[in-house]
Amino acid sequence: MLFCASGTGIYGALTEGMNGDATILISKSILDFFTAAIFAANLGYVVSLIAIPQFIIFIILFFAAHLIYPLTTAAMIFDFKAAGGVLMLATGFRMVQLKMFPTADMIPTMIIVMPISWLWITVILPIL
C-alpha cells in the first residue's frame, strides 16, 4: 500500500504522463529506496518484489494520463494538482503523527476530481 497506492506515486505518475515532469517520481523513488531499505532489514529480500506491481500500476497511470490530458482544461489540471497537494499534506500530517488522516480513503479523490471539475465548469457554473 505504501509503495503502490501512495498519493505521491499516483500524482507523480499522472503528472509525468500529462506534462513530462518527472521530479515528483524521482523524489518518490529516492524516498522509497530508503523506506524499502528499512523494511528489508525486517522483512528480507521479499520487499524488492514490490517493484513489480508498483511498475505495473504506475505505467498504467502514465499511459492513462496520455489519453486523459487532451480532454482536460487548465482549470481541471489545477484542481487535480490541488487534490494531490491536499493528499500529500494529509500524508505528511499522518507521518509526523500530528493528525491521523485516512489517506487510503482519500486516493479515489485523484480519480474523481477531474470529472467533478468538468461538471462544475460546464454545467453548474453557467447556471450560477
pLDDT tens by residue, 76-128: 888 988 888 888 888 888 888 888 888 778 878 878 998 999 999 999 988 88
7 — pLDDT class (breaks 50, 70, 90): low
- Alpha helices, H only, 44-108: 51-68, 74-95, 103-106
Q: Distance of alpha carbon 62 from its chain centroid, rounded?
A: 11
Instruction: Measure the CA–CA gap between 118 and 72, rounded to whole angstroms.
Output: 8
**Euclidean distance between CA atoms 34 and 81, whole angstroms:** 26
The grid coordinates of residue 94 equal 499522518
Residues 6+ apart with CB under 8 A from 103: 7, 87, 90, 91, 94
Cβ neighbours for 120, distance < 8 A, ≥ 6 positions apart? none
pTM above 0.85, yes or no: no
